[in-house]
Amino acid sequence: MNKQLQVVVGLGKTGVSLVRFLTRQGLPVAAVDTREQPPELAVLQAEFPQVELHCGSLATPLLAQAQTLYVSPGLALAQPELQAALAQGAQLSGDVDLFLQHVQAPVIAITGSNAKSTVTTLVGEMAQAAGVRVAMGGNIGTPILDLLSNDIELYVLELSSFQLETISHLQADVAVCLNISADHLDRYRDLAHYTEVKLQVYAQAKKAVINRDDTAAQPLQLPESTLSFGLTEAATGQFGLRRLNNELYLAQGDTQLLAVSELKIRGTHNYSNALAALAIGQAAGLPMAAMLQALRAFPGLAHRCQWVAQTQGVQWYNDSKATNIGATLAAIEGLAQPEHKLVLIAGGDGKGADFSELAAAVGAHCRAVIVLGQDAQRIARALSATGVQIEPVSSIEQAVAQAAKVAQAGDSVLLAPACASWDMFENFEQRGDMFVQAVEALA
């Protein structure tokens, strides 16, 4: 039995990057996937014909022979086969943990239920504007091991709760948990368990950034060096909003930095994201002028409260990335206007969430809710007491057509599903793209 054996569990792009990295280290490697035809199988067989493979299940002696199992974030660690290997002395790890054991440059670690990709991208663009050689990875973009390079001066990592489960070497230079809302409760015991995993981002961090507006996202113990952000006026040195002469500003203490009217991204949740990025950049030592330059230019990310079109006085927004209730609430509240209403399109795989948490915001701001997908009826029942019109449909095209019928001039139509997309689509990107196509066809 070879107890040096490194077993990669999950053969997507990340799995192949792990095999590539471990093979370069001269270690014996095997690979396992629960699927008969994993997406990167052909690539792996062509590039690494010597690597032993087992596809179709986790029932293989390879797990018991492993020194370390590098588990795909998509696979729950509670799987009996993984727990049995752990009991026999195998270690559980992941690609981010392996990256952290080898990285030399400073690391910014960003997690949260919502806005991780937006804030990670924004901090990366701030670093680029400052002339810093920066790489972004983790739960976003290129597999993280493929980014390891002596040329990089700063790494900005987006970390999901699933990735944090397998990280034991974090010790980030700057760490932040942006927010907490109910998500992935089909994988965690309860919200407290999910929160506990998220807050591991702060483990042994040199500097922490915290959200003043979300106590659930704040760790019990903070490093001495801490910055905060929030949507209220802030104490000296901290980041917040400030109103002056009827204009709202991003501010540090009582110093105005940038009028929110200069931002391309809209909504209070995006002002919070901008303030978070400024606090993270400040903690990392980025110059303020470069950070503000990047903020002015930042258009936002596709599928994240992305403006799509205007038709007959109605604005259309694609927030397909709103895969949980917290993200949908942020989008509703961010776009809400006292004199106009929203038409919300929601539904999909709710992952065990309680949709009644949407009721107050829907009742206050929505003209109608159009529901589709696996949990459409659960959403309809949870929102029935709001008195808002509920319209069930069976496709995204029907949702757009129905929204166009009920929306009035001045309204906004918002795709913010509060659900995962897997019941009807390959991923949230495909859902958002199909929404955009349907809106453009309408326009």
Active site residues: 116, 139, 184
What crossing angle do the helices spanning 13-24 and 95-102 adopt, rounded to 10°?
40
Of residues 225, 188, 223, the one with CA closest to residue 203: 223
- 412 among annotated binding-site residues: no
Question: Distance between CA atoms of 335 and 269, rounded to whole angstroms?
Answer: 9
DSSP letter assigned to residue 343: E
* Contact between residue 177 and residue 136 where contact means Cβ atoms under 8 Å apart: no
* Contact between residue 251 and residue 240 where contact means Cβ atoms under 8 Å apart: yes
- 117 among annotated binding-site residues: yes
Question: Distance between CA atoms of 388 and 366, rounded to whole angstroms?
Answer: 7
Q: Can you list the pairs that 91-95 forms with residues at least 24 positions away whose Cβ atoms lie under 8 Å?
A: 91/67, 92/68, 92/166, 93/68, 93/69, 93/166, 93/168, 94/70, 94/163, 94/165, 94/166, 94/167, 95/14, 95/17, 95/18, 95/21, 95/70, 95/143, 95/144, 95/145
Residue 255: both structure tokens together: 């110093």
- First-to-last CA distance in the chain? 64
CA distances from residue 420 to 204, 310, 357, 378 in whole angstroms, order as listed: 32, 26, 17, 14
- 114 among annotated binding-site residues: yes
* Contact between residue 120 and residue 157 where contact means Cβ atoms under 8 Å apart: yes
Of residues 119, 170, 142, 182, the one with CA closest to residue 355: 182
- 112 among annotated binding-site residues: yes
- 116 among annotated binding-site residues: yes
> Is residue 438 helix, strand or coil?
helix
* Contact between residue 318 and residue 390 where contact means Cβ atoms under 8 Å apart: no
**Residue with the two structure tokens 């795709």:** 415
Question: Distance between CA atoms of 302 and 319, rounded to whole angstroms?
Answer: 8
- 113 among annotated binding-site residues: yes
Beta partners for residue 210, in sequence order: 228
Residues 50, 16, 151: CA angle, nearest 5 degrees: 115
**Residue with the two structure tokens 């901090």:** 123
> Binding site for ATP, residues?
112-118
